[in-house]
């Protein structure tokens, strides 16, 4: 049974890259365009891993992570924060929000795939 | 006799109030009242009559007016009705063919598109006609117009005398107008015609609107508003009536009525003092004597409410509210009667206003006449009455009065003959009889009086004798009483030496029973008693008595002292009296004796005190200044014995004899001299300073002066020294004061009891204390209250007491903290309390307002800078995000393509995509570097100051660079001593620097090696990166640390951003370090960085 991954990303191109990459790699994909949709999708789709962009409309990534961590009755899935805020402190913020991985944009698809595989093992 | 005299003084005078006058006044008042009542009643009667009359005539008048003014409107109504009836009759008989021909003959088409009656028709019939250019000339219209034309030419001239015109309109907008004086529709424009039509139209029932069937069968005539036609310069009212054919209006018949005369009549009046108002049902004034201009100005449409005349509004209201049949309305508020009637036709209301004041005026005229007549009658009546009263009553009464007064004077032989037989005559006769009887009685009375007077005289003499005897007796008693009150014991003896009198004091002194002192007792018996009382022994008693008797007989003059019973001392004196008698007096002098003894004792004590005084004391005689007494101390001070001093002259001991005079002067002026400094001189001539006190004294019962003095020579010396010291201190103080006055610190010195000791200039200026405020002693509280009055404190009234108590408490506690204080005027003071060693306080105030302001400016600037920095930071974050997002897509797709995710690619495409990837990554590096640089420039880059291991850092960098070096076939070496101290700084950033430097070295070295050397020199960490590369020219060495500069040897299209060294230099500088390059072209380069060490621990290898 293939693993399910929730992609939270507001830019279509970046979403497509992840979709193409992950679909090609045999993952089942669900996508969310904003933070609120991400929270809903996390509850309904029950992904095995979440790729979470931080700069999102409506609810930002950190908020969404907080909601997901709070709402899920069962063990929350691993979350990888994908941020284009490469300023100092972003990574710390991501860890503080309870992320399991951190990838700065622009990311290398290979690198992201490696990270996902590492976390899903 | 007496009674008669007093009557005489009353005199006969005219009475104060004349009977005649009184009577006349009463009558006058009564008549006046009657006249006044008659006046009021007639006024009321006449006024009511007039009002009623006026109301009746008004009613008649208004009815006449109604009939008269309605006539013209009724006529107009009847005219157009007749016209209408005739029209309906005629039109049914009209031959349509004939109508067509007639129409063609009468009308002509004009160039402007309208159709009008020809000019010839106007000249012949006085009729003009107009059909608008948009009207369809249908057969039916022509027929209606021809019939109307015929009827207008028929009726028009007949009605011309009373009405301006006659016209017919059709719903389509055709008009025929009979108006011989006005070629109205001949030349008039479209708009003039439609203006008239519009004026006559009624929007409400739409009479003139074609194709609108009239509702029901009520054919109503319609009256226009009043309007002023400027064409004919007259007021007009129009009446129109439709003629219905088959239930639809075929034509509208109209007539204009000139109402100029009607309005003229309405405004002028036939009744005096009244005026008329004409107004419409809608409340518009049509005619009013005062508002005609206003009405014309408003085109005949002036609402009553617009006049602003409350009286008019009241009248309007009353006429509306009245019952329909009532013609007379009374307005109480304006005191008017208003007659109202409604005209037929346009249904105008005619109101005639009659002010009730008119009736009142007429009534008042009548009443005034009655009042005048009444007054005249009153005057006449009073004149007649006055003369009658005088002759008939006043004259005889005055005669009677005169007779009475002569009787009062004692002339009883009065005869009063008035020769009248009325009441006054009878009174006169009775009076004469009475006078005669009084005369007889008076004579008898005077005889009896004479005998009584004689008897009286004898009685008086006897009385005076008795009074004299009584006075004597009283005087005797008084003497006795007097004798009893004095404290002298007195014994009066008769010439034969027997007791005459003994007073109370004597009896008490000698305790003699009353019985032995009876008048006439021989003195010998009394003396025997004295002898026993004095306790004289029996055997000497006789001798004592004999000697005493002898004394009394000879009456020795000088008093002697004797011992009385109870150990009292009496002074006894015998005085011979003129009649040969004796007076023996005894005075008790026991107390006197005792007092004298006491004085002697006191003087003795005084002397002993003088002797014991611990300072020199001298008593001198006032008269000659000789020394009466000098105590032992004096003797010591002068250098003589007490005995030697006594009797010498006091002035001898003054170094300056004038000083003694001075003391005496002070004494005489002030009663005593106190602490007078005097230079005295000893017996041996040595001088010394003394402080002298002197006062008057009695010494052994003679006036004397008492001097006390102190040797103060030593004191004087000390004083001189003190004066010198004081002078010096003052000089210092003066300097200090000058300093205090010039310095900018406000200083307030307080005494230990918290009174102001000194307030310097700066203090006074800061607190704006008025000149001379500190001339008086001021407490701390005074000072604070004054400042508060001057409005210096920024403290509200409620808080003041608490604030003051707190301040004073602080000052008293002397806590020396420095605080800031803001005054009301915005000044900021640095305030400090300093406790002084003497318990006083020094308060200092330093004006730091400017400093504070500067501080504020600085703080603001800082806040602004921080804000700007934050904004910059936000901007950087956004830029970062915005740039990376698209780059992410570029790099992501590229990688997926290269990885064959979208199918296999031709080789060529693969190569190109690799270039895309390389360029994309270069772009990313560029963005990262620019952001880093921007962060540094914005001060956004924070450098941690953490200890780090230099060795770890270098090895980590070398490990990453290793593959690159290997690829180029270069040797990468590390040279680090074993025990190196920890560095202090931001490990991540320093790694960035080393990566850059090592990367550069490898990049620009094709052969040989790159070596990283670390070490400590002069307490600083040195890291050198040495290569054997191409080297950098001296010119380039200056440029390479600038942003976007690369050495001229830099590889084209290479991977350098040109920012690496600029960023490295900044990072090193931010660590407080430096970076240098040493290079020879072709020989290689060495970059050396110098960084601080961590001072805390040393790395344990």
**Angstroms from B931 CA to nearest CA on chain A:** 9
**Pick from B887, B889, B942: CB nearest A17:** B889
Cβ contacts of B901 on chain A, cutoff 8 Å: 20-21, 24
Comparing B210 with B1096, the larger pLDDT belongs to: B1096
Given a cut of 50, is residue B10 above it in pLDDT? no
Q: What angle do CA A25, A26, A30 make, to 5 degrees?
A: 105
Distance (Å, whole) CA B275 – CA B354: 7
Direct distance between the N- and C-terminal alpha carbons of chain B, in angstroms, rounded to an integer: 165
Indicate the burial class of B170 (C-beta count within 10 angstroms; 0-12, 13-18, 19 or more).
buried
**Residue that the structure tokens 């080297």 belong to:** B1031
Asked if the C-beta of B815 comes within 8 angstroms of chain A's C-beta atoms, the answer is no
Distances (CA, A) of B599 to B604, B612, B849: 9, 20, 82
Contacts of B553 (CB under 8 A, 6+ apart): B497
- Are B805 and B813 within 8 A, CB to CB? no
Task: Report the pLDDT averaged over residues A64-87.
Answer: 79
Distance (Å, whole) CA B536 – CA B543: 10
Closest CA to B263 of B276, B247, B248: B276
Closest CA to B54 of B338, B326, B316, B365: B338
Task: Report the pLDDT averaged over residues B274-281.
Answer: 80
Distance (Å, whole) CA B631 – CA B778: 50
**3-class SS of residue A23:** helix
Q: How high is the pLDDT of residue B1086? A: 92
Task: Report the pLDDT averaged over residues A78-95.
Answer: 76
Q: Do B876 and A87 touch (CB under 8 A)?
A: yes
- CA torsion sign for B766, B769, B775, B778 is negative
Q: How high is the pLDDT of residue A8? A: 92
Q: Do B896 and A11 touch (CB under 8 A)?
A: no
**Angstroms from B880 CA to nearest CA on chain A:** 6
Q: How high is the pLDDT of residue B3? A: 41
Q: How high is the pLDDT of residue B1087? A: 92
**Pick from B877, B888, B896: CB nearest A106:** B888
Q: Do B885 and A88 touch (CB under 8 A)?
A: no
Tell me the pairing of strands B818-822 and B828-835: antiparallel
Distance (Å, whole) CA B453 – CA B456: 5
Given a cut of 70, is residue A86 above it in pLDDT? no
Mean pLDDT over the full length of chain B: 81
Asked if the C-beta of B896 comes within 8 angstroms of chain A's C-beta atoms, the answer is yes
**Angstroms from B886 CA to nearest CA on chain A:** 8
Mean pLDDT comparison of A105-114, B156-165, B245-254, B331-340, highest-scoring range: A105-114
Q: How far is CA B93 from the centre of its chain?
A: 97
Q: What angle do CA B1008, B1011, B1013 make, to 5 degrees?
A: 160
Closest CA to B210 of B116, B143, B113, B135: B135
Cβ contacts of B928 on chain A, cutoff 8 Å: 86
Given a cut of 60, is residue B11 above it in pLDDT? no
**Pick from A20, A85, A106: CB nearest B896:** A20
**Pick from A17, A84, A104: CB nearest B892:** A17
Percentages helix, strand, coil for chain B, rounded to the nearest 5? Answer: 50, 20, 25
DSSP per-residue string spanning B394-431? IHHHHHHHHHHHHHHTT-----------SHHHHHHHHH
Query: Which pLDDT band, with edges at 50, 70 and 90, does B213 fall under?
Result: very low
Distance (Å, whole) CA B922 – CA B755: 83
Distances (CA, A) of B484 to B243, B502, B569, B581: 152, 9, 20, 20
| Residue B314 burial (CB count, 10 A) | 16
Indicate the burial class of B567 (C-beta count within 10 angstroms; 0-12, 13-18, 19 or more).
exposed
A9 to chain B: nearest residue by CA?
Answer: B885
Q: What is the pLDDT of residues B928-966, one digit of tens each?
A: 888 777 777 777 777 888 888 888 888 888 888 888 888
Q: What is the pLDDT of residues B495-519, one digit of tens each?
A: 888 888 888 888 888 887 777 788 8
DSSP type of residue B516: G
Q: Do B902 and A20 touch (CB under 8 A)?
A: yes
Task: Report the pLDDT averaged over residues B634-652.
Answer: 86
Q: How high is the pLDDT of residue B75? A: 86
**Angstroms from A92 CA to nearest CA on chain B:** 14
Contacts of B701 (CB under 8 A, 6+ apart): none
Interface test with B, best of A15, A57, A103, A106 (most B CBs within 10 A): A106
Q: What angle do CA B648, B651, B655 make, to 5 degrees?
A: 125
Asked if the C-beta of A25 comes within 8 angstroms of chain B's C-beta atoms, the answer is no
Q: Do A87 and B877 touch (CB under 8 A)?
A: yes
Cβ contacts of B917 on chain A, cutoff 8 Å: none
**Angstroms from B830 CA to nearest CA on chain A:** 44
Cβ contacts of B922 on chain A, cutoff 8 Å: none
Mean pLDDT over the full length of chain A: 85
- Are B1 and B453 within 8 A, CB to CB? no
**Pick from B881, B893, B902: CB nearest A85:** B881
Q: Between A and B, how many CB-CB pairs are < 8 A? A: 68
Indicate the burial class of B566 (C-beta count within 10 angstroms; 0-12, 13-18, 19 or more).
exposed
Q: How high is the pLDDT of residue B1026? A: 92
**Pick from B876, B880, B901: CB nearest A84:** B880
Q: What is the pLDDT of residues B767-792, one digit of tens each?
A: 888 888 888 889 988 889 988 888 88
Query: Which pLDDT band, with edges at 50, 70 and 90, does B709 fall under?
Result: confident
Asked if the C-beta of A88 comes within 8 angstroms of chain B's C-beta atoms, the answer is yes
Question: Residue B358 has which token pair?
Answer: 């008119």
The percentage of residues in chain B with a pLDDT greater than 90, rounded to a whole number, is 2
Q: Do B881 and A55 touch (CB under 8 A)?
A: yes
Q: Do A20 and B877 touch (CB under 8 A)?
A: no
Question: Residue B336 has which token pair?
Answer: 């008017």
**Angstroms from B890 CA to nearest CA on chain A:** 9
Distance (Å, whole) CA B586 – CA B492: 12
Asked if the C-beta of B211 comes within 8 angstroms of chain A's C-beta atoms, the answer is no
Contacts of B1096 (CB under 8 A, 6+ apart): B947, B982
Q: Do A86 and B890 touch (CB under 8 A)?
A: no
Distance (Å, whole) CA B331 – CA B318: 8
Q: How high is the pLDDT of residue A30? A: 92
Interface test with A, best of B890, B894, B895 (most A CBs within 10 A): B895
Distance (Å, whole) CA A49 – CA B213: 87
Interface test with B, best of A9, A61, A105 (most B CBs within 10 A): A105
Comparing B201 with B278, the larger pLDDT belongs to: B278
Cβ contacts of A11 on chain B, cutoff 8 Å: 885, 888-889
DSSP per-residue string spanning B601-670? HHHHHHHHHHHH-SS-EEEEETTT-BEEEE-HHHHHHHTS-HHHHTTSBGGGGBSSTHHHHHHHHHHHHH
Q: Do A21 and B896 touch (CB under 8 A)?
A: yes
- Are B964 and B1072 within 8 A, CB to CB? no
DSSP per-residue string spanning B521-564? -BHHHHHHHHHHHTT--HHHHHHHHHHHHHHHHHT--S-EEEE-
Closest CA to B98 of B153, B50, B139, B136: B139
Mean pLDDT comparison of A5-19, B383-397, B449-463, highest-scoring range: A5-19
**Pick from B892, B896, B899: CB nearest A106:** B892
A83 to chain B: nearest residue by CA?
Answer: B881
Closest CA to B167 of B205, B193, B142: B193
Q: What is the pLDDT of residues A94-108, one digit of tens each?
A: 788 888 888 888 888
**Pick from B876, B896, B942: CB nearest A109:** B896
Asked if the C-beta of A113 comes within 8 angstroms of chain B's C-beta atoms, the answer is no
Cβ contacts of B902 on chain A, cutoff 8 Å: 20
Closest CA to B1089 of B1028, B1100, B1070, B980: B1070
Asked if the C-beta of B904 comes within 8 angstroms of chain A's C-beta atoms, the answer is no
Given a cut of 80, is residue B269 above it in pLDDT? no
Q: How high is the pLDDT of residue B6? A: 41
- Are B296 and B303 within 8 A, CB to CB? no
Q: Do B889 and A85 touch (CB under 8 A)?
A: no
Cβ contacts of A110 on chain B, cutoff 8 Å: 895, 899
Asked if the C-beta of B903 comes within 8 angstroms of chain A's C-beta atoms, the answer is no
Our CA dihedral for B617, B623, B627, B628, rounded to 10 degrees, sits at -80
Residues 939-968 of B with CB under 8 A from A: 941-942
Q: Do A17 and B899 touch (CB under 8 A)?
A: no
DSSP per-residue string spanning B804-870? HHHHHHHHHHT---EEEEEBTTS-EEEEEEEE-TTS-EEEEEEE-HHHHHHHHHHHHHHHHHHHHHH
B876 to chain A: nearest residue by CA?
Answer: A87
Asked if the C-beta of A19 comes within 8 angstroms of chain B's C-beta atoms, the answer is no
- Are B220 and B206 within 8 A, CB to CB? no
């Amino acid at each position: 049974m293939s693993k399910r991954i929730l992609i939270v990303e507001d830019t279509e191109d970046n979403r497509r890259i992840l979709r193409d990459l992950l679909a090609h790699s045999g993952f089942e994909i669900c996508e969310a365009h904003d933070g609120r949709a991400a929270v809903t999708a996390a509850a309904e789709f029950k992904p095995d891993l979440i790729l979470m962009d931080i700069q999102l409309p409506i609810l930002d990534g950190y908020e969404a992570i907080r909601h997901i961590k709070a709402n899920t009755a069962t063990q929350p899935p691993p979350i990888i924060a994908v941020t284009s805020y490469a300023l100092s402190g972003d990574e710390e913020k991501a860890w503080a929000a309870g992320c399991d991985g951190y990838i700065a944009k622009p990311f290398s698809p290979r690198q992201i795939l490696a990270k996902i595989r590492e976390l899903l093992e | 006799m007496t009674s008669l005299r007093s009557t005489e003084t009353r005199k006969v005078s005219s009475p104060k109030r004349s009977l005649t006058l009184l009577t006349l006044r009463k009558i006058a008042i009564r008549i006046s009242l009657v006249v006044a009542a008659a006046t009021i009643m007639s006024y009321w009667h006449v006024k009511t009559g007039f009002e009623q009359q006026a109301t009746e005539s008004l009613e008649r008048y208004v009815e006449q007016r109604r009939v008269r003014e309605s006539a013209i409107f009724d006529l107009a109504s009847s005219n157009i009705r007749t016209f209408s009836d005739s029209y309906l009759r005629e039109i049914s008989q009209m031959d349509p063919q004939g109508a067509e021909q007639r129409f063609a003959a009468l009308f002509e088409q004009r160039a402007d598109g309208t159709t009008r009656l020809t000019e010839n028709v106007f000249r012949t019939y006085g009729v003009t006609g107009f059909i608008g250019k948009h009207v369809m000339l249908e057969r039916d219209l022509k027929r209606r117009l021809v019939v109307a034309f015929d009827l207008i030419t028929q009726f028009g001239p007949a009605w011309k005398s009373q009405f301006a015109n006659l016209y017919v309109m059709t719903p389509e907008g055709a008009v025929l107008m009979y108006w011989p004086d006005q070629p109205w529709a001949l030349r008039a424009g479209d708009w003039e015609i439609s203006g008239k039509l519009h004026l006559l139209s009624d929007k409400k029932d739409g009479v003139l609107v074609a194709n609108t069937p009239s509702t029901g069968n009520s054919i109503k005539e319609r009256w226009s508003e009043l309007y002023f036609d400027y064409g004919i310069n007259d007021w007009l009212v129009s009446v129109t009536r439709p003629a219905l054919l088959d239930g639809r209006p075929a034509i509208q018949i109209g007539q204009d009525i000139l109402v100029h005369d009607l309005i003229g009549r309405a405004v002028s009046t036939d009744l005096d003092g009244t005026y008329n108002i004409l107004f419409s049902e809608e409340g518009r004034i049509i005619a009013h004597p005062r508002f005609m201009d206003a009405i014309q100005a408003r085109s005949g449409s002036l609402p009553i409410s617009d006049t602003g005349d409350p009286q008019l509004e009241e009248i309007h209201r009353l006429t509306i509210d009245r019952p329909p049949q009532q013609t007379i309305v009374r307005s109480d508020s304006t005191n008017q009667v208003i007659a109202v009637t409604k005209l037929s036709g346009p249904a105008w209301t005619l109101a005639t206003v009659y002010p009730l004041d008119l009736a009142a005026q007429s009534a008042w005229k009548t009443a005034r006449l009655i009042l005048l007549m009444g007054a005249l009658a009153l005057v006449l009546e009073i004149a007649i009455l006055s003369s009658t009263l005088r002759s008939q009553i006043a004259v005889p009464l005055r005669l009677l009065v005169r007779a009475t007064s002569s009787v009062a004077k004692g002339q009883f032989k009065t005869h009063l003959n008035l020769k009248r037989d009325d009441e006054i005559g009878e009174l006169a006769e009775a009076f004469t009889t009475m006078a005669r009887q009084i005369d007889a009685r008076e004579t008898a009375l005077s005889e009896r009086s004479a005998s009584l007077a004689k008897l009286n005289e004898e009685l008086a003499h006897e009385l005076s004798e008795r009074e004299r005897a009584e006075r004597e007796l009283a005087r005797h008693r008084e003497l006795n009483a007097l004798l009893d009150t004095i404290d002298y014991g007195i014994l009066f003896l008769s010439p034969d030496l027997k007791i005459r009198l003994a007073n109370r004091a004597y009896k008490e002194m000698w305790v003699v029973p009353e019985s032995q002192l009876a008048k006439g007792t021989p003195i010998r018996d009394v003396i025997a008693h004295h002898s026993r009382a004095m306790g004289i022994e029996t055997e000497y008693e006789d001798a004592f008595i004999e000697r005493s008797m002898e004394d009394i007989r000879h009456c020795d003059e000088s008093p002697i002292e004797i011992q009385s019973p109870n150990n009292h001392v009496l002074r006894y004196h015998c005085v011979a009296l003129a009649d040969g008698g004796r007076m023996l007096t005894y005075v008790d002098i026991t107390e006197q004796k005792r007092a004298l003894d006491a004085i002697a004792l006191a003087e003795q004590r005084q002397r002993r005190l003088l002797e014991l005084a611990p300072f020199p004391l001298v008593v001198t005689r006032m008269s000659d200044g000789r020394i009466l007494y000098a105590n032992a101390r004096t003797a010591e001070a002068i250098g003589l014995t007490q005995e030697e001093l006594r009797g010498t002259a006091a002035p001898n001991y003054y170094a300056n004899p004038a000083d003694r005079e001075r003391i005496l002067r002070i004494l005489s002026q002030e009663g005593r001299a106190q602490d007078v400094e005097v230079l005295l001189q000893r017996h041996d001539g040595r001088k010394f300073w003394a402080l002298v006190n002197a006062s008057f004294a009695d010494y052994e019962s003679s006036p004397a002066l008492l001097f006390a003095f102190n040797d103060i020579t030593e004191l004087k010396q000390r004083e001189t020294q003190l004066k010198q010291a004081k002078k010096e201190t003052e000089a210092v103080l003066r300097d200090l004061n000058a300093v205090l006055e010039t310095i900018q610190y406000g200083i307030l010195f307080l005494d230990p009891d918290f009174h102001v000791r000194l307030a310097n200039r700066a203090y006074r200026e800061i607190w704006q204390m008025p000149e001379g405020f500190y001339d008086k002693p001021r407490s701390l509280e005074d000072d604070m209250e004054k400042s508060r009055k001057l409005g210096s404190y920024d403290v509200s009234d409620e808080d003041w007491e608490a604030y003051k108590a707190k301040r004073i408490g602080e000052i008293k506690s002397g806590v020396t903290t420095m605080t800031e204080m803001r005054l009301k005027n915005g000044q900021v003071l640095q305030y400090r309390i300093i406790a002084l060693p003497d318990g006083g306080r020094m308060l200092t105030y330093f004006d730091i307002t400017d400093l504070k302001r500067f501080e504020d400016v600085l703080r603001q600037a800082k806040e602004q800078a921080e804000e700007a920095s934050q904004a910059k930071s936000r901007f950087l974050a956004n830029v970062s995000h915005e740039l990376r997002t698209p780059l992410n897509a570029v790099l992501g797709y590229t990688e997926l393509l290269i990885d064959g995710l979208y199918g296999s690619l031709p080789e060529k495409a693969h190569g190109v995509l690799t270039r895309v990837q390389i360029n994309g990554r270069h772009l990313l590096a560029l963005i990262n570097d620019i952001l880093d640089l921007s962060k540094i420039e914005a001060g956004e880059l924070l450098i941690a100051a953490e200890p780090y291991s230099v060795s770890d850092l270098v090895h980590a960098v070398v490990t990453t660079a290793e593959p690159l070096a290997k690829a180029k076939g270069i040797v990468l070496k590390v040279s680090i001593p074993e025990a190196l101290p920890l560095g202090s700084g931001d490990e991540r950033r320093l790694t960035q620097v080393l990566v850059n430097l090592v990367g550069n070295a490898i990049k620009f070295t094709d052969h040989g090696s790159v070596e990283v050397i670390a070490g400590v020199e002069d307490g600083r960490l040195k890291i050198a990166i040495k290569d054997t590369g191409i080297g950098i020219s001296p010119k380039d060495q200056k440029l390479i640390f600038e942003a976007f500069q690369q050495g001229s040897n830099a590889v084209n299209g290479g991977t350098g951003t040109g920012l690496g060294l600029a960023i490295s230099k900044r990072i090193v500088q931010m660590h407080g370090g430096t970076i240098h390059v040493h290079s020879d072209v072709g020989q290689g380069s060495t970059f050396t960085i110098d960084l601080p060490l961590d001072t805390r621990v040393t790395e344990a290898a």
